[in-house]
A and B are shown apart, each in its own frame.
Chain A
Amino acid sequence: MIELQAVSKRYGHKQALDGVILSLPKGKIIGLVGENGSGKTTLLKLISGLLTPDSGVAALDGKVITRRVAATIAYMPDTDLFYSYFTISQLFEFYNSQFEDFQMKKAEEIAEFLNISMDAKIRTLSKGNRGRVKIAVTLGREAEYYLLDEPFSGLDPMVREDIAKGLIRFTDTERQTVLMSTHELKEVEPLLDELIVLKGGQILAHKEIDEIRDRYGMDATSWLVSLFRE
């Protein structure tokens, strides 16, 4: 389980996260929504051990998160892949050398599922195919947690559907947890167990999707709009 206790993070004058208290249960797919600048990326990076809190504690199974502790956490940034001169198979080799939990066989299966050609050079790929490759190398790790920053952003509907299906196919909710930030809540909702809403660096709400639909009789998007109107 991941737990944040009163975690704050500031960049200069900008308070990115402000006293965040959060616990992420295992085995769930959790959506993270909020306006631009609400702290989504900062939160994902803190949990991945890429940033350290100014105050408060982020812990994984009771241990303070460091880069070492975060070895079982796979983080997928919203930025492009660096290694544009690699072919896909070279990229997979590279990930294999960097991450103990990377499984070549699984990664190749994902590549096949997503119709990625292993010989293509990354720089020759379309944006959509780069999105597919990015999710393939991320899910190729047998991580306990997948933290995905905007996995669907800027991609066309075909690619979004492929990525969604890859996510369902290649994660095991009996032992793996996914936390992903998104602006495409309407589309992503059927993938989610829970939803976390960030506003101004604080958690505005954290709810189960079924509860939203059951209790308020509306889908997550309508509920979110009503939440921001309050």
Chain B
Amino acid sequence: MSMEFLPDKPIYQQLIDHIIGDIIRGTLIAGAKLPSVRDYAVSVGVNANTMQRVYKELEQMEITETRRGQGSFVTENTERIQELREEMKEQLVQSFIQNLEALGFTTNEMVNYLQKRGGNDD
């Protein structure tokens, strides 16, 4: 109820992406403590089982680590976070290219265009 979810993807997956997004953006920094499963579940308005799964998968992906009796923390392994940035970049580019191809643009045309307009926003 408190967070909007897209219809075409499992909710736990969207929550994982959301947390990874926060880490890449730097809203969640290396070593930061995550809320407890239940607190986080209440604040975004999802089932605690869903949130439990999110935390478990983040841990398996070595994005977070659980310290006994203290809760979950964002990894302090900055290489892993760098790797996440790269993975996210690749994902974004892949879906970008898919969209381009669907409309018949060539990658070259787009690279040229991006270079030409790029500076404006930087």
B47 partner, pick from A168, A218, A219, beta carbons under 8 A: A168
- State the CA gap A187–B42 with chains docked (Å): 14
- Closest A residue to B51 by CB, please name it: A168
Total number of A-B contacts with CB less than 8 angstroms? 66
A213 surroundings in chain B (CB, below 8 A): 7-11
Q: Knowing A169-B38, A209-B11, A214-B10 touch, does A161 contact B47 (C-beta < 8 A)?
A: no
- Closest A residue to B7 by CB, please name it: A219
* B49 proximal to A (CB < 8 A): yes
A29 surroundings in chain B (CB, below 8 A): 47, 49
Query: Which residues of chain A have a CB within 8 Å of any CB of chain B?
Result: 27-29, 160-161, 164-165, 168-169, 171-173, 187, 189-193, 209-210, 213-214, 217-219, 222
With both chains docked as a complex, state the minimum distance between the C-beta of B74 and any C-beta of chain A, in angstroms.
Answer: 23
- State the CA gap A171–B41 with chains docked (Å): 12
**B49 and A190 form a contact (CB under 8 A):** no
Q: List 12 A–B pairs whose Cβ atoms lie within 8 Å, in order of A's numbering.
A: A161-B45, A164-B1, A164-B45, A169-B38, A173-B48, A189-B11, A190-B44, A190-B47, A190-B50, A191-B46, A218-B7, A219-B5
**A190 and B10 form a contact (CB under 8 A):** no
With both chains docked as a complex, state the minimum distance between the C-beta of B17 and any C-beta of chain A, in angstroms.
Answer: 14
**A190 and B7 form a contact (CB under 8 A):** no
- State the CA gap A129–B21 with chains docked (Å): 38
- State the CA gap A203–B52 with chains docked (Å): 29
**A168 and B41 form a contact (CB under 8 A):** yes
- State the CA gap A70–B29 with chains docked (Å): 49
- State the CA gap A28–B47 with chains docked (Å): 9
**A165 and B8 form a contact (CB under 8 A):** no
**B47 and A173 form a contact (CB under 8 A):** yes
* B2 proximal to A (CB < 8 A): yes
Give the B interface residue count (CB, 8 A). 21
**A168 and B38 form a contact (CB under 8 A):** yes
A190 partner, pick from B8, B38, B45, B52, beta carbons under 8 A: B45
Q: Which of B8, B10, B11, B48 neighbours the largest number of chain A CB atoms within 10 Å of its CB?
A: B48
**B10 and A168 form a contact (CB under 8 A):** no
**B8 and A217 form a contact (CB under 8 A):** yes
- State the CA gap A84–B88 with chains docked (Å): 57
**B48 and A161 form a contact (CB under 8 A):** no
- State the CA gap A117–B44 with chains docked (Å): 26
**B5 and A168 form a contact (CB under 8 A):** no
**A193 and B10 form a contact (CB under 8 A):** no
B42 surroundings in chain A (CB, below 8 A): 165, 168-169
Q: Knowing A29-B49, A173-B47 touch, does A218 contact B8 (C-beta < 8 A)?
A: yes
- State the CA gap A222–B9 with chains docked (Å): 13
**A190 and B48 form a contact (CB under 8 A):** no
